[in-house]
Amino acid sequence: MTLPRTDTLVTYAAGSIEETAAVLHMQPLGDRLAVLVDRTPVHPVDAGWPDQGPDSAMLVANGEAIEIVDAVVGATDGETLFAGTDVPVRKGTEGWAFVVVHLVAADAAVAEGDTVMLAVEADQRQALSVGHTACHLASLALNRALAGAWRKEGRTDALGAPDFDGTAIETSTITPNGSVDEFRVGKSVRKAGFDPAALDDLAALGHEVDRILAGWTTTGAVVRIDADGEGLTDRRWWVADLPEGAARIPCGGTHVRSLSELGAVTVTLTRRELEGAVGVTMTTRASG
């Protein structure tokens, strides 16, 4: 079969962990076999912002369960398939289809045209969904705790607080039931009006973040994903109905449906001395 000309339909954002799909295209990719289907519940890693890794999942073809060893975002112009860091264009580029590339063993017994079932490991999905929701919540709490550290008005977060997270974030990694966020406070962040002295007592700052988080998690607020559609590149937003209002953050990951699923959420803040800057690592943990 030819390469698809439309985006893969993805159902992981809606919470799906199992789908029946048609195999549209297969080809060798390195020492593995790339399998493209019309729809999938499998969350892939996106090389553009690889915060949440791929789901653990199986592909069942003709009664045989085949391990999906990796799942990555790919793109095709109809002639060539590019995967991961090799994708040469931005999402949504006209004339390109963005697809979930399921990577299986090179000798996997699956063929183009097969009807297959894709099944995600539920416990791992739940742990990553807990971690991703906790990550968003912790970023909002950190912003709120640091609101008094700004001398200028600038960008604001989903609740209207000064956006330290969005201004200083370098990397974010979703882990089972938590996350690790790396911030860098250098010249550009200081120029934006942030006073780095607010980071002198990280223990006290962490306690304040924990206090804010406790006030939110005990509400058991509803969490949902708003989406423009089911296509891989359709825009999606994480929405949580917090006491201060509905927080709405662009996000392509997976999440829980209620803050009650998080249990207690706490953070640990540690300092890293960088050349010409202060680094802060926020490790977030949810008891689940």
The strand ranges marked E within 144-209 are 169-175, 178-185
Gyration radius of the chain over CA positions: 21
Query: Going by CATH, does the domain composed of 9-120 fall within 2.40.30.130?
Result: yes
- 3-state secondary structure (DSSP) of residue 130: helix
Domain boundaries, the chain: 9-120, 123-286
Q: Any idea which fold 123-286 has?
A: Threonyl-tRNA Synthetase; Chain A, domain 2 (3.30.980)
Using alpha carbons, list the distances in angstroms from residue 136 to 182, 257, 276.
14, 14, 28
pTM: 0.97
pLDDT tens digits in sequence order for the chain, 288 residues long: 689 999 999 999 999 999 999 999 999 999 999 999 999 999 999 999 999 999 999 999 999 999 999 999 999 999 999 999 999 999 999 999 999 999 999 999 999 999 999 999 999 999 999 999 999 999 999 999 999 999 999 999 999 999 999 999 999 999 999 999 999 999 999 999 999 999 999 999 999 999 999 999 999 999 999 999 999 999 999 999 999 999 999 999 999 999 999 999 999 999 998 999 999 999 999 998
